[in-house]
Amino acid sequence: ALQSFRNDCMKAARRANGGGDLVMDDATEEKIGAYCGCVAEAMQGNVQPAEIEKIGRGQASDKTVQLMSRIVEGCKPQLE
């Protein structure tokens, strides 16, 4: 589930940067990889595997959604 999340994160970040699903330039890919890695590592240490699967299905608990928001905010500097 965590690897699937990381793959989805990379695709979403590429789309957000205007690249669709295509691999972007090396510098952008490095930033995206660092960001998605940061989020995945934080999830692994703080979110139960069953909840990670629920995130992918859009069924995560409110507590998990709030935690994910904090994780995402904490990892945003990786994109700069």
CA 24 to chain centre: 17
Taking the C-alpha atoms of residue 68 and residue 64, their distance in angstroms, rounded to an integer, is 6
Least confident span in 29-33, 40-44, 49-53: 49-53
Residue 2 or 12, more confident: 12
First-to-final CA distance of the chain: 27
Q: What is the pLDDT of residue 11?
A: 92
> Is residue 1 predicted with pLDDT exceeding 70?
no
pTM, full prediction: 0.83
> What is the per-residue pLDDT for 17?
82
CA-based angle 28:14:32, to the nearest 5?
45
**Whether residue 27 has pLDDT greater than 90:** yes
Write the CA distances from 28 to 4, 69, 79, integer angstroms.
20, 22, 8
Q: Grade residue 72 by pLDDT with cuts at 50, 70 and 90.
A: very high
